[in-house]
A and B are shown apart, each in its own frame.
Chain A
């Protein structure tokens, strides 16, 4: 797999932001597990295009990068942390649930919190029976009372996701949305809530939440 080393070298030697993005895409497209450490390090580069390409590359590799993503979580760079959390959420492995819960509750950066909260509603359908949802629901319930509209918005998106699962959790998620409808004062957040409720009420064929 000499090829992978060369692609990694291209990332190290990129001279412009555009070259970097291109090199990251090339490495990500291999879906090779040996690319994992490099792709994770790119999440911390100050280049959104490259970071997004790396994140999608990691998601495409899937479950085998979950351990590395969790152990290499960047405690100092909240941009990198947000991409890590998004990747974990999209992969949907329940192993990442404790990290998503703690980021949702305590991360100082709203962007990390939003990503983690949304992730709580994106647990992959095939693992749905393995998950204890009580803490997820409790967390989302408290997020619906956050001062920051974007945190409340993310909680609604998560509940919208859970509400569409073909699982007992969906009824509870919908009930939470219903119960907070009257307290919401922000027009955008309220409208997103109404959209979620409209969709769950009229969507007879409940689909498992998709992975991406």
Chain B
């Protein structure tokens, strides 16, 4: 995400060709087209990707479904609510990475203004995947599931989410904190993410930064700007904070002033 490059080869594809390639006899072309259509935000491709997410021909030796994974990721990027039923179905795929991509895609769709209500139907299927009582277990893509439930404000399942704050894996604990913040708006959960900005593992610091940007936690802006990670991660996290709060600045000059301070922090990260 943070070092995006324009892909010259990809631009040689055209929309129609790529959509047709989702049914190509060459499975590698299908796989590539499914990625490309999301990357290029080709909204006409939604129906074809919904078909592709049930593809059974592209299999790995271990039984994975690479095309389904890419189709799910691209459906998330396209953000069309039409994809929700297919994504819910994919939550039960035997391939862990398809389930993960589907949960992430539901979260992405739910983060759009028109998606948050339509995606409510995914709450129960997502919550069902949290039924494990063993918090060392990694059977499910917990990070993605927890984050999607937080985005959907699934208050009815708070009791299933909260125990993941104790999971043995740090990233899952952070996802639970982000989720609980989504549900409750309570700063104590966002502050768990702030604490993780001083974790010795740079990957954990990056995850916490991204999460704080996603939840738009304004109080953390200055800590984010000074975290020990690459500038680009910090820049994108601060952008997330601005995108969350800028729509509310009308009539609120104090908020605007605070957000302008965030912009000055961003200037220093360029």
Contacts and interface: CB of A to CB of B under 8 A. Distances in A.
A118 B270 contact: yes
Interface in B221-270: 228-232, 235-236, 239, 242-243, 246-247, 259-260, 263, 266-267, 270
A187 B270 contact: no
Given A49-B228, A111-B232, A191 B270 contact: no
Interface string A172-202: 0000000000000001100110010000000
Which secondary structure dominates chain B's binding surface? helix
Given A109-B3, A110-B3, A48 B230 contact: yes
A110 B229 contact: no
Contacts of A118: 267, 270
Nearest to B262: A188
Interface string A90-126: 0000000000000000001111001101100000000
B6 to A, nearest CB: 7
Interface in A141-176: 147-150, 153-154, 157
Interface of B: 3-6, 228-232, 235-236, 239, 242-243, 246-247, 259-260, 263, 266-267, 270
23 contacts: A48-B228, A49-B228, A82-B231, A110-B3, A110-B232, A111-B3, A111-B230, A114-B235, A114-B270, A118-B270, A150-B232, A150-B235, A153-B270, A157-B267, A187-B246, A187-B247, A188-B239, A188-B242, A188-B243, A191-B242, A191-B259, A195-B260, A195-B263
Interface of A: 48-49, 78-79, 82, 108-111, 114-115, 117-118, 147-150, 153-154, 157, 187-188, 191-192, 195
